Chain A
């Protein structure tokens, strides 16, 4: 193969004075190594997410419609008829954290579709050729989903406050809400990115996405207390991270009895497992 002589190339011939316009583009940046890589990549992805939201806020508004309807129609009606025993809490108050969790989950589930779209458009492909381990890339996407979900949660909290839900404004508790929403969104986005890594096409994922979000929502304590459910549904609810998210949000926002420690532990573990799973399936999208 190398029998063909190599032609002299002009670049070496015309080596005049160095071109000032490229002065900064001659030395590669010093590589970050070790544990610092993941937080750096997560920051980069979150910055991108914020920039996108700054350019186009319509998604924040359109995504506020559905939770507003749940609270205004479903919530208000069911508080009137007192059909659901909530242990003394007004039903609207009981429902609001569930709806926050639901709208955050819908955003996160969308990330699987987005990652397939980014694969098809070449954006993901190019990111995969940067010095970013797959898990760091997935973690970046997962926390970017968290950032977006937190903004959405803030919108729903404001809507809920406007219709008279009595929630806490204690900054420490709100910080807890941020942590819970970020962890849960990281899990749900990784769930959907993992499925994306398995089914590989957008059409199939859209179908599956719809097929899992509603069951996840109904098989949780978002709309009604677990005690009301039939036994088998209670079992499903117990392994459904959404239930732990809702439990924590209720405890933090309206002060009901919650198992905060357990909730956080389950959500943190689920997020971590999700990142590992999605990270190992991401390579399938590159092929």
Chain B
């Protein structure tokens, strides 16, 4: 398979279970080169599991996931070289400086010594941390840590950037600054971005296309505008009138089953986005803080 014409990500029939619990259940996903693709869904929908499968962290059978035409099961190393990954937790090493954090990733991605320093500086500047790179990451704010992680992922010039809730636990200003950097980097490097978020505003404004997941399955796919107009059509069919133009949040509620159409499943939803997820989110928010 050639890499030139291949989509950034092609995922066909991805399933993954933790014991008996199906976290992802037959997911198909096609992400084109250069787009910012948002993966949405309630807590426990399977977004992180999907990303961990793409990043080769979870074992998947051959033929299920292709990154620029490279099979994530057969050619793990080739796939990893194409990826930049920022996990859901804040993952910078607090006992190293900003620069050392990025240097480590330059080293493990085999950046030659002669261009290492310049490349690390450029990655740090690209996220606006050049001036504080000498400080320990433990002194960084949550937004700075997120940007540092972007720099870590950026230093190897990835073609597909995978960001798992890059704005989790951040204040509105820090959120904007993280997203502004993502947008700039994407424009400057042409890389593809696969991102998850719980903020419908961010999804609406910053993503080219969205996939909405629920209970491990794909529920809706399209541009934010398409998703909203689809909901208008649904409402018209079911005779609901007098409602104002739907927001992306309405779309989210509709497809996540806690809307009018599917009242029975609310308890099950909350069950799934259970303790584990909430605890993890809280820990993320409090770490390095």
Q: Which residues of A contact B (CB under 8 A)?
A: 1-2, 4, 6-7, 9-12, 14, 18-19, 21-32, 40-41, 43-44, 47-48, 51-52, 55-56, 120-123, 125-133, 283, 286-287
- Tally A-B pairs: CB < 8 A: 157
Structural contact, B157 and A51, CB atoms closer than 8 A: no
Judged by a CB distance under 8 angstroms, whether B194 is at the interface is no
Which of B90, B190, B208, B221 meets A4, CB within 8 Å? Answer: B221
Q: A25-B126, A131-B81 are in contact. List 8 more A-B contacts (CB 8 A).
A: A4-B226, A7-B209, A27-B157, A48-B96, A120-B89, A121-B287, A125-B57, A125-B91
Structural contact, A14 and B91, CB atoms closer than 8 A: no
Q: Which B125-162 residues sit within 8 Å CB-CB of chain A?
A: 125-126, 136, 152, 154-159
Q: List 30 A–B pairs whose Cβ atoms lie within 8 Å, in order of A's numbering.
A: A1-B221, A4-B209, A4-B222, A6-B32, A6-B35, A7-B208, A7-B223, A7-B226, A9-B35, A11-B186, A21-B122, A21-B125, A22-B188, A25-B119, A25-B157, A25-B188, A28-B157, A44-B107, A44-B108, A48-B93, A52-B96, A120-B283, A125-B87, A126-B91, A129-B80, A129-B85, A130-B108, A130-B109, A131-B108, A286-B57
Stretch at the interface among B110-118, B252-260, B266-274: B110-118
A44 to B103 CA separation, bound complex (whole angstroms): 9
Which of A12, A31, A127, A132 meets B34, CB within 8 Å? Answer: A12
A23 to B126 CA separation, bound complex (whole angstroms): 11
Which of A24, A51, A127 meets B100, CB within 8 Å? Answer: A51
Judged by a CB distance under 8 angstroms, whether B56 is at the interface is yes
A4: min CB distance to chain B, Å:
5
Which of B28, B105, B152, B156 meets A1, CB within 8 Å? Answer: B28
A27 to chain B: which residues have CB within 8 Å?
157
Structural contact, A24 and B119, CB atoms closer than 8 A: yes
Known contacts A6-B32, A21-B122, A22-B122; A126/B85 CB under 8 A: yes
Structural contact, B287 and A25, CB atoms closer than 8 A: no
Structural contact, B122 and A31, CB atoms closer than 8 A: no
The 6 closest A-B pairs by CB, nearest first: A122-B91, A19-B188, A122-B89, A22-B188, A44-B107, A29-B111
A287 to chain B: which residues have CB within 8 Å?
18, 57-58
A19 to chain B: which residues have CB within 8 Å?
187-189
Q: Which B52-95 residues sit within 8 Å CB-CB of chain A?
A: 52, 55-59, 77, 80-83, 85-93, 95
Please tell me the number of chain B residues within 8 Å of chain A, measured between CB atoms: 72
Q: Which residues of B contact A (CB under 8 A)?
A: 18, 28-30, 32, 34-36, 52, 55-59, 77, 80-83, 85-93, 95-97, 100, 103-112, 115, 118-119, 122-123, 125-126, 136, 152, 154-159, 185-190, 208-209, 218, 221-223, 226, 283, 287
A51 to chain B: which residues have CB within 8 Å?
96-97, 100
B221 to chain A: which residues have CB within 8 Å?
1, 4
Known contacts A52-B96, A130-B109; A25/B155 CB under 8 A: yes
Structural contact, B80 and A130, CB atoms closer than 8 A: yes
A26 to B159 CA separation, bound complex (whole angstroms): 9
A12 to B123 CA separation, bound complex (whole angstroms): 22
Structural contact, A52 and B95, CB atoms closer than 8 A: yes
Structural contact, A55 and B83, CB atoms closer than 8 A: no
Known contacts A22-B188, A25-B155; A128/B57 CB under 8 A: yes
B224: min CB distance to chain A, Å:
9
B62: min CB distance to chain A, Å:
17
B142: min CB distance to chain A, Å:
14
Which of B82, B90, B97 meets A122, CB within 8 Å? Answer: B90
